[in-house]
Chain A
Amino acid sequence: MKKGLSFFSKSTQSGSYFTPFEDTDVSLSLRVSAIDSEGVEKVDVNDAINSYTFASDYQLWRQETDMLSVNNFDNKYFNAIVARGEESVPYIYEQLKKGPTHLIHALELIYPDKCDYNKEIITLKRARKRWLRILEKQKNI
Protein backbone atom coordinates (compact mmCIF):
# COMPACT_ATOMS: atom_id res chain seq x y z
CA MET A 1 0.00 0.00 0.00
CA LYS A 2 1.41 3.36 -1.00
CA LYS A 3 1.01 5.71 1.94
CA GLY A 4 1.50 9.45 2.16
CA LEU A 5 0.63 10.09 -1.47
CA SER A 6 -1.06 13.44 -1.50
CA PHE A 7 -1.90 15.79 -4.33
CA PHE A 8 -4.66 18.04 -5.63
CA SER A 9 -6.48 16.77 -8.66
CA LYS A 10 -8.20 19.15 -11.07
CA SER A 11 -11.91 18.66 -11.12
CA THR A 12 -15.10 20.39 -12.13
CA GLN A 13 -15.68 24.10 -11.53
CA SER A 14 -18.08 24.87 -8.73
CA GLY A 15 -21.22 26.91 -9.24
CA SER A 16 -22.96 27.79 -12.46
CA TYR A 17 -22.83 31.58 -12.55
CA PHE A 18 -20.93 33.53 -15.16
CA THR A 19 -17.48 34.68 -14.08
CA PRO A 20 -15.18 36.37 -16.56
CA PHE A 21 -12.07 36.12 -14.36
CA GLU A 22 -9.44 33.50 -15.07
CA ASP A 23 -8.15 33.68 -11.53
CA THR A 24 -11.57 32.97 -10.04
CA ASP A 25 -11.85 29.62 -11.72
CA VAL A 26 -11.78 28.09 -8.27
CA SER A 27 -12.14 24.42 -8.91
CA LEU A 28 -13.43 21.87 -6.49
CA SER A 29 -10.35 19.96 -5.43
CA LEU A 30 -10.35 16.48 -4.00
CA ARG A 31 -7.38 15.49 -1.92
CA VAL A 32 -6.38 11.92 -2.62
CA SER A 33 -4.85 10.88 0.68
CA ALA A 34 -3.76 7.39 -0.28
CA ILE A 35 -4.08 4.66 -2.88
CA ASP A 36 -4.59 1.16 -1.50
CA SER A 37 -3.14 -2.09 -2.81
CA GLU A 38 -5.96 -2.49 -5.33
CA GLY A 39 -5.36 0.98 -6.70
CA VAL A 40 -8.53 2.47 -5.22
CA GLU A 41 -8.13 6.15 -4.36
CA LYS A 42 -9.17 7.20 -0.86
CA VAL A 43 -10.66 10.65 -0.89
CA ASP A 44 -10.58 13.06 2.06
CA VAL A 45 -14.26 14.04 2.14
CA ASN A 46 -13.81 16.83 4.68
CA ASP A 47 -11.23 18.45 2.48
CA ALA A 48 -13.54 18.23 -0.52
CA ILE A 49 -16.37 19.85 1.43
CA ASN A 50 -14.10 22.62 2.76
CA SER A 51 -12.75 23.25 -0.72
CA TYR A 52 -16.22 23.49 -2.20
CA THR A 53 -17.48 25.77 0.59
CA PHE A 54 -14.52 28.10 0.20
CA ALA A 55 -14.80 28.22 -3.60
CA SER A 56 -18.48 29.02 -3.36
CA ASP A 57 -18.06 31.76 -0.71
CA TYR A 58 -15.10 33.29 -2.51
CA GLN A 59 -16.87 33.52 -5.86
CA LEU A 60 -20.07 34.92 -4.35
CA TRP A 61 -18.13 37.48 -2.31
CA ARG A 62 -16.30 38.63 -5.43
CA GLN A 63 -19.46 38.65 -7.50
CA GLU A 64 -21.16 40.93 -4.96
CA THR A 65 -18.28 43.28 -4.18
CA ASP A 66 -15.64 43.28 -6.93
CA MET A 67 -17.10 46.32 -8.64
CA LEU A 68 -17.33 48.28 -5.37
CA SER A 69 -14.71 50.69 -4.06
CA VAL A 70 -16.01 50.91 -0.50
CA ASN A 71 -17.40 48.48 2.11
CA ASN A 72 -16.03 45.46 0.24
CA PHE A 73 -15.56 43.50 3.46
CA ASP A 74 -19.03 44.15 4.82
CA ASN A 75 -20.31 40.96 3.21
CA LYS A 76 -21.71 37.68 4.56
CA TYR A 77 -19.62 35.46 2.29
CA PHE A 78 -16.38 37.18 3.30
CA ASN A 79 -17.44 36.89 6.95
CA ALA A 80 -18.10 33.17 6.42
CA ILE A 81 -14.54 32.68 5.10
CA VAL A 82 -13.14 34.46 8.16
CA ALA A 83 -15.46 32.60 10.56
CA ARG A 84 -14.10 29.22 9.42
CA GLY A 85 -10.68 30.41 10.62
CA GLU A 86 -7.74 28.11 9.92
CA GLU A 87 -9.88 25.78 7.79
CA SER A 88 -9.93 28.54 5.14
CA VAL A 89 -6.20 29.18 5.22
CA PRO A 90 -4.99 26.49 2.74
CA TYR A 91 -7.44 27.79 0.13
CA ILE A 92 -6.55 31.43 0.79
CA TYR A 93 -2.93 30.38 0.30
CA GLU A 94 -3.79 28.87 -3.10
CA GLN A 95 -5.41 32.16 -4.15
CA LEU A 96 -2.47 34.21 -2.83
CA LYS A 97 -0.10 32.18 -4.99
CA LYS A 98 -2.05 33.33 -8.06
CA GLY A 99 -1.62 37.04 -7.30
CA PRO A 100 -2.67 39.96 -5.07
CA THR A 101 -6.09 39.51 -3.50
CA HIS A 102 -8.13 41.20 -0.79
CA LEU A 103 -8.27 37.83 0.98
CA ILE A 104 -5.23 39.23 2.77
CA HIS A 105 -7.70 40.97 5.05
CA ALA A 106 -9.16 37.57 5.99
CA LEU A 107 -5.65 36.46 7.02
CA GLU A 108 -5.23 39.64 9.07
CA LEU A 109 -8.44 38.78 10.92
CA ILE A 110 -7.63 35.07 11.35
CA TYR A 111 -4.03 35.72 12.52
CA PRO A 112 -4.06 39.24 14.04
CA ASP A 113 -0.81 38.59 15.92
CA LYS A 114 1.11 37.62 12.77
CA CYS A 115 0.30 40.84 10.97
CA ASP A 116 3.62 42.61 11.63
CA TYR A 117 3.50 45.33 8.97
CA ASN A 118 2.22 48.89 8.79
CA LYS A 119 -1.17 48.55 7.07
CA GLU A 120 -1.24 52.18 5.95
CA ILE A 121 2.07 51.91 4.15
CA ILE A 122 2.35 48.41 2.73
CA THR A 123 1.09 47.74 -0.80
CA LEU A 124 -1.14 44.79 -1.61
CA LYS A 125 1.66 43.19 -3.63
CA ARG A 126 4.13 43.39 -0.75
CA ALA A 127 1.55 42.23 1.80
CA ARG A 128 0.93 39.21 -0.43
CA LYS A 129 4.64 38.33 -0.45
CA ARG A 130 4.79 38.77 3.33
CA TRP A 131 1.82 36.44 3.89
CA LEU A 132 3.16 33.83 1.46
CA ARG A 133 6.36 33.75 3.51
CA ILE A 134 4.44 33.48 6.78
CA LEU A 135 2.15 30.73 5.53
CA GLU A 136 4.95 28.71 3.94
CA LYS A 137 6.65 28.61 7.33
CA GLN A 138 3.54 26.99 8.77
CA LYS A 139 3.38 23.23 8.59
CA ASN A 140 -0.35 22.99 7.98
CA ILE A 141 -0.23 24.26 4.39
Chain B
Amino acid sequence: MVKDIGEAKKYLSSDWCFPRLRSDKKFEVTSKRNVNFNCIAWAMRLCDRWVDTQDTAGHWWPVQLDAISPTQNGLITAFESLKFVKCDNSEPEFFYDKVALYYHPITKGWTHAARIISVTEYHSKLGGLWDIHHSNGSVLHNPKYLNVTYGSVYQIMKRHKMYRFYSLWLIIVRLFQNIKEDIYGLL
Protein backbone atom coordinates (compact mmCIF):
# COMPACT_ATOMS: atom_id res chain seq x y z
CA MET B 1 0.00 0.00 0.00
CA VAL B 2 1.19 3.48 -0.76
CA LYS B 3 2.52 5.37 2.25
CA ASP B 4 0.48 8.36 1.19
CA ILE B 5 -1.06 9.81 -1.94
CA GLY B 6 1.48 12.63 -1.99
CA GLU B 7 4.37 10.18 -2.28
CA ALA B 8 2.59 8.24 -5.01
CA LYS B 9 2.06 11.46 -6.98
CA LYS B 10 5.69 12.42 -6.46
CA TYR B 11 6.86 9.02 -7.65
CA LEU B 12 4.60 8.87 -10.71
CA SER B 13 5.46 12.38 -11.87
CA SER B 14 9.21 11.90 -11.34
CA ASP B 15 11.66 12.02 -14.23
CA TRP B 16 11.90 8.20 -14.44
CA CYS B 17 8.12 7.72 -14.65
CA PHE B 18 5.82 10.25 -16.30
CA PRO B 19 7.21 13.81 -15.83
CA ARG B 20 4.43 15.33 -17.95
CA LEU B 21 1.98 14.51 -15.13
CA ARG B 22 3.55 17.33 -13.10
CA SER B 23 1.76 19.92 -15.20
CA ASP B 24 -1.41 17.85 -15.68
CA LYS B 25 -4.26 19.50 -13.76
CA LYS B 26 -6.38 16.35 -14.02
CA PHE B 27 -3.71 14.11 -12.49
CA GLU B 28 -5.01 12.40 -9.37
CA VAL B 29 -4.20 9.08 -7.64
CA THR B 30 -7.53 7.32 -7.09
CA SER B 31 -6.76 3.97 -5.48
CA LYS B 32 -4.45 1.91 -3.32
CA ARG B 33 -1.70 -0.02 -5.05
CA ASN B 34 -2.89 -3.38 -6.40
CA VAL B 35 -0.61 -5.94 -8.00
CA ASN B 36 -3.39 -8.39 -8.92
CA PHE B 37 -4.42 -6.78 -12.22
CA ASN B 38 -2.98 -4.49 -14.87
CA CYS B 39 -4.25 -1.70 -17.12
CA ILE B 40 -5.62 -4.04 -19.78
CA ALA B 41 -7.65 -5.94 -17.17
CA TRP B 42 -8.85 -2.62 -15.77
CA ALA B 43 -10.02 -1.45 -19.20
CA MET B 44 -11.71 -4.84 -19.81
CA ARG B 45 -13.28 -4.76 -16.31
CA LEU B 46 -11.58 -8.04 -15.38
CA CYS B 47 -10.01 -7.02 -12.08
CA ASP B 48 -9.20 -10.58 -10.97
CA ARG B 49 -6.29 -11.14 -13.38
CA TRP B 50 -3.31 -9.70 -15.18
CA VAL B 51 -4.16 -9.63 -18.91
CA ASP B 52 -1.02 -10.15 -20.99
CA THR B 53 0.77 -12.84 -22.97
CA GLN B 54 3.08 -14.02 -20.18
CA ASP B 55 2.79 -17.70 -19.22
CA THR B 56 2.72 -17.40 -15.44
CA ALA B 57 0.30 -17.60 -12.51
CA GLY B 58 -2.28 -14.83 -12.36
CA HIS B 59 -1.77 -13.89 -16.02
CA TRP B 60 -4.35 -14.55 -18.73
CA TRP B 61 -4.83 -13.90 -22.41
CA PRO B 62 -7.89 -14.73 -24.53
CA VAL B 63 -7.07 -18.31 -25.42
CA GLN B 64 -7.96 -18.19 -29.07
CA LEU B 65 -5.33 -15.58 -29.81
CA ASP B 66 -1.68 -15.75 -30.80
CA ALA B 67 0.07 -15.61 -27.43
CA ILE B 68 3.53 -14.86 -28.74
CA SER B 69 3.60 -11.42 -30.27
CA PRO B 70 2.36 -8.34 -28.37
CA THR B 71 1.35 -6.51 -31.54
CA GLN B 72 -1.07 -3.59 -31.80
CA ASN B 73 -3.51 -5.78 -33.71
CA GLY B 74 -3.12 -8.51 -31.09
CA LEU B 75 -4.46 -6.18 -28.41
CA ILE B 76 -7.33 -5.02 -30.64
CA THR B 77 -8.28 -8.67 -31.24
CA ALA B 78 -8.12 -9.31 -27.48
CA PHE B 79 -10.58 -6.46 -26.84
CA GLU B 80 -12.78 -7.64 -29.72
CA SER B 81 -13.01 -11.04 -28.04
CA LEU B 82 -14.61 -9.22 -25.08
CA LYS B 83 -17.21 -7.58 -27.35
CA PHE B 84 -15.40 -4.28 -27.90
CA VAL B 85 -15.52 -2.75 -31.39
CA LYS B 86 -13.30 -0.18 -33.07
CA CYS B 87 -14.44 3.39 -32.80
CA ASP B 88 -13.17 6.62 -34.36
CA ASN B 89 -13.75 9.13 -31.56
CA SER B 90 -13.46 9.46 -27.80
CA GLU B 91 -16.73 11.35 -27.31
CA PRO B 92 -18.54 9.71 -24.37
CA GLU B 93 -21.71 7.82 -25.33
CA PHE B 94 -24.22 7.06 -22.60
CA PHE B 95 -24.70 3.39 -23.43
CA TYR B 96 -21.05 2.61 -24.18
CA ASP B 97 -17.78 2.13 -22.30
CA LYS B 98 -14.87 3.52 -24.27
CA VAL B 99 -11.19 2.66 -23.98
CA ALA B 100 -7.98 4.04 -25.51
CA LEU B 101 -5.16 1.69 -26.56
CA TYR B 102 -1.53 2.91 -26.46
CA TYR B 103 1.54 1.81 -28.42
CA HIS B 104 5.28 2.20 -27.93
CA PRO B 105 6.95 4.67 -30.33
CA ILE B 106 10.00 2.45 -30.94
CA THR B 107 8.88 -1.18 -30.61
CA LYS B 108 5.40 -0.39 -32.02
CA GLY B 109 3.97 -2.99 -29.62
CA TRP B 110 1.03 -2.21 -27.33
CA THR B 111 1.85 -0.80 -23.93
CA HIS B 112 -1.31 0.34 -22.17
CA ALA B 113 -5.09 0.77 -22.17
CA ALA B 114 -7.13 3.45 -20.39
CA ARG B 115 -10.83 3.91 -19.66
CA ILE B 116 -12.18 7.09 -21.23
CA ILE B 117 -14.14 9.30 -18.84
CA SER B 118 -14.52 12.29 -21.13
CA VAL B 119 -12.85 13.62 -24.27
CA THR B 120 -10.16 15.22 -22.14
CA GLU B 121 -9.96 12.88 -19.14
CA TYR B 122 -8.86 9.23 -18.89
CA HIS B 123 -8.76 6.73 -16.02
CA SER B 124 -5.74 4.40 -16.03
CA LYS B 125 -4.32 1.60 -13.93
CA LEU B 126 -0.53 1.78 -14.02
CA GLY B 127 0.90 -1.75 -14.23
CA GLY B 128 0.99 -3.22 -10.73
CA LEU B 129 0.70 0.20 -9.07
CA TRP B 130 -2.16 2.63 -8.52
CA ASP B 131 -4.94 3.83 -10.77
CA ILE B 132 -5.00 7.50 -11.68
CA HIS B 133 -7.06 10.12 -13.48
CA HIS B 134 -5.11 12.05 -16.11
CA SER B 135 -5.54 14.12 -19.24
CA ASN B 136 -5.82 12.55 -22.65
CA GLY B 137 -3.00 12.75 -25.17
CA SER B 138 0.57 11.83 -24.45
CA VAL B 139 0.94 12.72 -20.75
CA LEU B 140 2.03 9.11 -20.16
CA HIS B 141 4.87 9.44 -22.64
CA ASN B 142 8.40 9.71 -21.27
CA PRO B 143 10.77 10.71 -24.09
CA LYS B 144 13.81 10.37 -21.80
CA TYR B 145 13.21 6.82 -20.54
CA LEU B 146 11.69 4.93 -23.44
CA ASN B 147 11.66 1.64 -21.55
CA VAL B 148 8.91 2.94 -19.22
CA THR B 149 6.96 5.10 -21.67
CA TYR B 150 3.38 4.31 -22.65
CA GLY B 151 3.67 6.27 -25.89
CA SER B 152 0.50 7.46 -27.59
CA VAL B 153 -3.02 6.33 -28.37
CA TYR B 154 -3.41 4.28 -31.57
CA GLN B 155 -6.98 3.06 -31.28
CA ILE B 156 -10.22 3.94 -29.50
CA MET B 157 -12.63 1.06 -28.85
CA LYS B 158 -16.09 0.90 -27.33
CA ARG B 159 -18.43 -1.70 -25.85
CA HIS B 160 -22.09 -1.55 -24.96
CA LYS B 161 -22.47 -1.34 -21.17
CA MET B 162 -24.69 -4.42 -21.32
CA TYR B 163 -21.52 -6.45 -22.01
CA ARG B 164 -20.10 -5.59 -18.58
CA PHE B 165 -22.03 -8.72 -17.63
CA TYR B 166 -19.83 -10.68 -20.00
CA SER B 167 -16.74 -9.56 -18.02
CA LEU B 168 -18.55 -10.41 -14.80
CA TRP B 169 -19.38 -13.84 -16.19
CA LEU B 170 -15.68 -14.48 -17.00
CA ILE B 171 -14.78 -13.51 -13.42
CA ILE B 172 -17.38 -15.89 -11.98
CA VAL B 173 -16.23 -18.75 -14.23
CA ARG B 174 -12.64 -18.20 -13.13
CA LEU B 175 -13.67 -18.09 -9.47
CA PHE B 176 -15.30 -21.51 -9.78
CA GLN B 177 -12.31 -22.87 -11.67
CA ASN B 178 -10.09 -21.68 -8.82
CA ILE B 179 -12.28 -23.33 -6.20
CA LYS B 180 -12.10 -26.56 -8.22
CA GLU B 181 -8.29 -26.21 -8.38
CA ASP B 182 -8.17 -25.71 -4.60
CA ILE B 183 -10.20 -28.86 -4.02
CA TYR B 184 -7.90 -30.89 -6.32
CA GLY B 185 -4.92 -29.35 -4.51
CA LEU B 186 -6.20 -30.65 -1.17
CA LEU B 187 -6.82 -34.18 -2.44
Give the interface of A toward B (CB within 8 A): 18-23, 63-73, 99-102, 104-105, 108, 115-127, 130
B109: nearest residue on chain A (CB-CB)?
A70
Beyond A67-B127, A101-B35, is A73–B56 a contact (Cβ under 8 Å)? yes
A66/B128 in contact, CB under 8 A? yes
CB < 8 Å neighbour of B56 from A65, A100, A119, A125: A119
A105/B126 in contact, CB under 8 A? no
Q: Give B61 Cβ to nearest chain A Cβ, in Å.
A: 8
Inter-chain contacts of A117 with B (CB < 8 A): 57, 181, 185
B178/A66 in contact, CB under 8 A? no
Bound Cα distance from A46 to B45, whole angstroms: 46
Beyond A18-B14, A118-B181, A130-B185, is A124–B50 a contact (Cβ under 8 Å)? yes
Inter-chain contacts of B7 with A (CB < 8 A): 20
14 A-B contacts (beta carbon < 8 Å):
A21-B33, A64-B147, A66-B129, A69-B40, A69-B112, A69-B113, A102-B128, A105-B56, A119-B56, A121-B177, A121-B178, A123-B174, A124-B58, A125-B36
The 3 closest A-B pairs by CB, nearest first: A124-B58, A127-B57, A69-B38
Q: Give B24 Cβ to nearest chain A Cβ, in Å.
A: 16
Inter-chain contacts of A125 with B (CB < 8 A): 36
A20/B58 in contact, CB under 8 A? no
Bound Cα distance from A120 to B67, whole angstroms: 12
CB < 8 Å neighbour of A70 from B3, B10, B57, B111: B111
Beyond A65-B127, A119-B56, is A20–B8 a contact (Cβ under 8 Å)? yes
Bound Cα distance from A124 to B147, whole angstroms: 25
A22/B148 in contact, CB under 8 A? no
A133: nearest residue on chain B (CB-CB)?
B185
A127/B58 in contact, CB under 8 A? yes
A-contact 0/1 string along B84-118, CB 8 Å cutoff: 00000000000000000000000001111100000
Beyond A105-B56, A117-B185, A130-B185, is A124–B3 a contact (Cβ under 8 Å)? no
B54/A104 in contact, CB under 8 A? no
B147: nearest residue on chain A (CB-CB)?
A64
Q: Give B78 Cβ to nearest chain A Cβ, in Å.
A: 12
Bound Cα distance from A127 to B182, whole angstroms: 10
B56/A66 in contact, CB under 8 A? no
Inter-chain contacts of B128 with A (CB < 8 A): 66, 72, 102
Q: Which of B53, B109, B127, B182 has the most CB of A within 10 A?
A: B127
A104: nearest residue on chain B (CB-CB)?
B57
Inter-chain contacts of B12 with A (CB < 8 A): 67
A67/B185 in contact, CB under 8 A? no
Bound Cα distance from A21 to B34, whole angstroms: 11
Q: Give B110 Cβ to nearest chain A Cβ, in Å.
A: 7
